[in-house]
Structure 1
Amino acid sequence: MAAADLLTLFPATLLDFAVAFGLGAAFWLGGLMLVGAATPQKELALLREGNLPTAIAFGGKAVGMVLPIAAVARAAGGPLDQAIWCAVAVAVQLLVHLLLSILLQGRLRREIERDEVGGGAVFIAFIQIGAGILNNACMAG
């Protein structure tokens, strides 16, 4: 394929990219906001203050959330398919978050209040990333 042929395809592929990226970013940010709403702490304010346990746990949530969303963007059959599977990806990560909250019974909250990194923040980060990797593999098609 010649360069001129590629340039004629570029506007259409750029639009496809923009739609897929925009949907993925919207679900990623929306999912993080949803998980944040299910968290008793004000994570954004704590991040601005430099609270390390919050940064570790929230970073794990962010990576865990974006992995399956990225897989969906690659494998989706179109914007509607992508939106449906992105919603599933967010729901899985929210479920993992809620299960971890029950399992750890306030451990992360105590770490955040003391601004001391302990096992809770690290465990949550790794489990959220692990769930995202598994979710990614299942959605990659």
Structure 2
Amino acid sequence: MTTADVLAIFPSTFLSFLVAFALGAVFWIAGLVVVSLITPHSELTLLRAGNLPTAIVFGGKAIGMVLPIAAVARSAAGPLDQIIWCVVAVAVQLGAHLLLSTLLTGRLREEIEADKVGGAAVFIAFMQIGAGILNNACMSG
């Protein structure tokens, strides 16, 4: 392929990149917003206040959420396919969040209120990342 060939197809491939990136970013942010809305404490307020357990848990959620969304962006047949699989990816991560929150809600609440990192915050963060890695592997086919 010559330079002229590459430059000739660049506008269409760049547009495809922009669409895939924008869809991925929208679903990543939307997924994190939904997770925040179903969390009993105001994560954004706690993050702004510098609450470390919240930062660790939310960071794990963010990484766990973006991993399968990235896999979908890489393997989707087009924008509609990407949208469908991003919905599935976000739903799986929300399910992991709900399960982990249910199992450790009391302990995590104690850590957040005391602003002290303990086992619950670290465990939830790593489990969210682990769920994202598994979700990513399943999504990337």
Scaled to the shorter chain, the TM-score interval is over 0.9
One-letter code of the match for 2:29?
L
What corresponds to 1:123 in structure 2?
A: 123
| Partner Cα distance (1:105, 1:68) in 2 | 25
Name stretches of at least 5 consecutive residues in structure 1 with no aligned partner.
Answer: none
Q: Shift of the alpha carbon at 1:106?
A: 1.9
Q: Shift of the alpha carbon at 1:94?
A: 0.5
Paired residue secondary structure (2:41)? coil
One-letter code of the match for 1:107?
R
One-letter code of the match for 1:38?
I
Paired residue secondary structure (2:69)? helix
Q: Shift of the alpha carbon at 1:109?
A: 1.3
Which consecutive aligned stretches of 4+ in structure 1 deviate over 2 angstroms post-superposition?
Answer: none
Q: Shift of the alpha carbon at 1:105?
A: 3.2
- Report the count of equivalent residues: 141
TM-score in terms of structure 2 length: 0.98
What corresponds to 1:25 in structure 2?
A: 25
CA distance 1:87–1:43, change in 2 (3 Å): same
What corresponds to 2:55 in structure 1?
A: 55
For residues 22-101 of structure 1, the aligned pairs below 5 Å read 22-101=22-101
After superposition, the CA RMSD in angstroms is 0.6
Bigger shift: 38-47 or 127-136? 38-47
| Partner Cα distance (1:13, 1:69) in 2 | 19
Bigger shift: 98-107 or 70-79? 98-107
Name stretches of at least 5 consecutive residues in structure 2 with no aligned partner.
Answer: none
